[in-house]
Amino acid sequence: MILEQFYLSCLSQASYLVADETSRRAAVVDPRRDVDEYVAQARQRGLRIELVLLTHVHADFVPGHIELAERTGAVIAMSEVAPVGFPIRRLRHGERIELGDPETGVILEVRATPGHTPESITLAVYGHGRDAAPAALLTGDTLFLGDVGRPDLLGAAGRTAQDMARDLYRSLRTQILPLPDEVLVYPGHGAGSACGKALSAETVSTLGEQRATNYALAPMSEDAFVAAVTDGLADPPSYFARDVEFNKMGHAPFDPGLELPALPAEHAVSRRGEGVLLLDVRDAQDFASGHLVGSVNVGLSGRFAEYAAAVREDGQAVILVGGGAETVEARLRLARVGIDAVEGTVDESAVLTAKPELLASGSRLTARDAAERIRGIPALQVVDVRGPGEFAAGSLPRAVNMPLPRLLVRLSELDPARPVLVSCAGGYRSIAAASMMRAHGFGDVSDLLGGWTAWQSEHPMSTT
């Protein structure tokens, strides 16, 4: 049996290549959109990718099933109840997919595990078809390490989070927990993903370890489980709903080799006036020193795709600002979350040499200067763009919590005529939020340099 994990840290997303060494037949599970690595790995091992399996309709990223099927001729397969508008092989609960000999070869068994979504499946991987138990589980977003998939991402389909949590309880206890402790658990996401609450940083575990340590697998009633998994859920990132619809419809294949046109800075600023998002992907300090008027900064050093999707309006075209290698990488990462409408790029050197009237600078305050503003400006709006759990542990005086993934849809709660101070954990999210506010007409916006970490160093006893 060949079972290889491909982990994408910037999206906390895992995909898998499963194959039978004798037959050389292979399947890829939940691939990311840039599929070269799977194709290269299959070629290196002498494998034929015949099947692309999706564990469910994803909300946080756009998988590369269409790209991989186009490259390899593989068939796309999902649950028989998957609500998609493109051709798929529809998989039944209990169906066994033979990658090798039915007795001695690798078998994938489909287990319907609704709860995160109605169509969620878990794939049980048998090293030999005759084995009494699988060697591994590819759990998608049903079971994570330390957590389970959040049950609240389907509200528009008429199911409540409580309804879905009840489905999840039964799925876990009938399809996963009866298996032996030594079965390996390979999840669809790790720490940092918004598809759960408290995911582990580990990327593989055993069912026995999860049974002992995962709060959601502890013995409890169905009602207690529902209460536990629905408690403390933050609002999902605003782009999740867009990606769900995108993934239901299908998409045109992504071509990573396509070169984007290089645009003059003047043209980019003009297009910004017509509604295009100028997305500056440089380091925060470089951005603060000088950037195109109206541009928004989301640096490549962090969770770029997730936050870039959060600062972009529905259907908004994008122009990327940064160095050549940076904009190539940025385009790839945007495609992974379904943002294909990239018109072109502006080289960072063009920003620095642009006409002065095209340039702006950002206001970043030290913790000491921020404290003076809070004390001296009664009208100051203090906005903390961290997650609710981070905010609950302590924040700046007078701060209100507006997590960055939902900030765009909550801007109307703030007064653009009043000054704003934005904070986060270390400064990455706050400069993105501050620049987005300025792009939406807020006149006086600063962010806290070094974030909550810097504030605590200066004010060690501070709490909300």
Is residue 384 located within the same domain as residue 398? yes
Is residue 121 located within the same domain as residue 132? yes
Is residue 343 located within the same domain as residue 440? no
Q: How many CA atoms lie within 13 A of 283 on its CB side?
A: 3
For residue 258, being part of any structural domain is answered with no
For residue 24, being part of any structural domain is answered with yes
Is residue 229 located within the same domain as residue 300? no
Is residue 355 located within the same domain as residue 370? no
pLDDT one-digit tens code per residue, 23-37: 999 999 999 999 999
C-beta of residue 425 within 8 angstroms of C-beta of residue 397: no
Cα–Cα dist 464/455, whole Å: 12
Burial class (CB in 10 A: 0-12, 13-18, 19+), 235: middle
pLDDT one-digit tens code per residue, 254-299: 998 899 999 999 999 999 999 999 999 999 999 999 999 999 999 9
Is residue 409 located within the same domain as residue 444? yes
CATH number for the domain spanning 157: value is: 3.60.15.10
Is residue 356 located within the same domain as residue 368? no
Alpha carbon separation from 455 to 25, 58, 375, 425, 426 (Å, rounded)? 56, 37, 14, 9, 10
E-assigned strands of 22-120? 25-29, 48-53, 75-79, 89-91, 96-98, 107-112
Mean pLDDT value of segment 182-189: 97
For residue 280, being part of any structural domain is answered with yes
Is residue 354 located within the same domain as residue 442? no
For residue 167, being part of any structural domain is answered with yes
Q: Quickly list H helices, 231-303.
A: 239-249, 265-273, 284-289
Percent of the chain with pLDDT over 70: 98
pLDDT-based confidence at 459, cuts 50/70/90?
confident
Instruction: Dig out the tokens for 245 from the structure.
Output: 């619809």
Is residue 346 located within the same domain as residue 389? no
Is residue 351 located within the same domain as residue 371? no
CATH number for the domain spanning 405: value is: 3.40.250.10
Give the sheet arrangement for strand 13-19, strand by strand: 2-8, 13-19, 25-29, 48-53, 75-79, 89-91
Residues whose CB falls within 8 Å of the CB of residue 83, separated by 6 or more in sequence, listed in order:
57, 119, 248
Instruction: Dig out the tokens for 296 from the structure.
Output: 């928004």
Instruction: Dig out the tokens for 217 from the structure.
Output: 């697998």
pLDDT-based confidence at 234, cuts 50/70/90?
confident
**Residue 464 has what pLDDT?**
46
For residue 303, being part of any structural domain is answered with yes
Mean pLDDT value of segment 73-84: 97
Domain holding 79, by residue range, is 2-249
- The model carries a pTM of 0.93
Mean pLDDT value of segment 397-414: 95
For residue 255, being part of any structural domain is answered with no
Q: Which of 303, 329, 360 is the last residue of a domain?
A: 360
Q: How many CA atoms lie within 13 A of 406 on its CB side?
A: 15
For residue 463, being part of any structural domain is answered with no
C-beta of residue 50 within 8 angstroms of C-beta of residue 40: no
Residue closest to 421 by CA, chosen among 407, 404, 433: 433
Cα–Cα dist 434/236, whole Å: 21
Alpha carbon separation from 381 to 284, 296, 389, 439 (Å, rounded)? 22, 20, 21, 17
For residue 464, being part of any structural domain is answered with no
**Residue 172 has what pLDDT?**
98
Q: Which of 249, 284, 302 is the last residue of a domain?
A: 249
pLDDT-based confidence at 15, cuts 50/70/90?
very high
pLDDT above 70: residue 461? no
pLDDT above 60: residue 155? no
C-beta of residue 421 within 8 angstroms of C-beta of residue 374: yes
**Residue 264 has what pLDDT?**
95
| Structural domain count, the chain | 3
Cα–Cα dist 311/238, whole Å: 9
Is residue 374 located within the same domain as residue 294? no
Mean pLDDT value of segment 97-106: 97
Is residue 316 located within the same domain as residue 181? no
**Residue 306 has what pLDDT?**
92
Mean pLDDT value of segment 12-16: 96
Cα–Cα dist 353/351, whole Å: 5
pLDDT-based confidence at 462, cuts 50/70/90?
low
Q: Which of 324, 344, 360 is the last residue of a domain?
A: 360
Mean pLDDT value of segment 105-124: 97
pLDDT above 60: residue 314? yes
With H, G, I as helix, E, B as strand and everything else as coil, classify residue 263: coil
**Residue 157 has what pLDDT?**
66
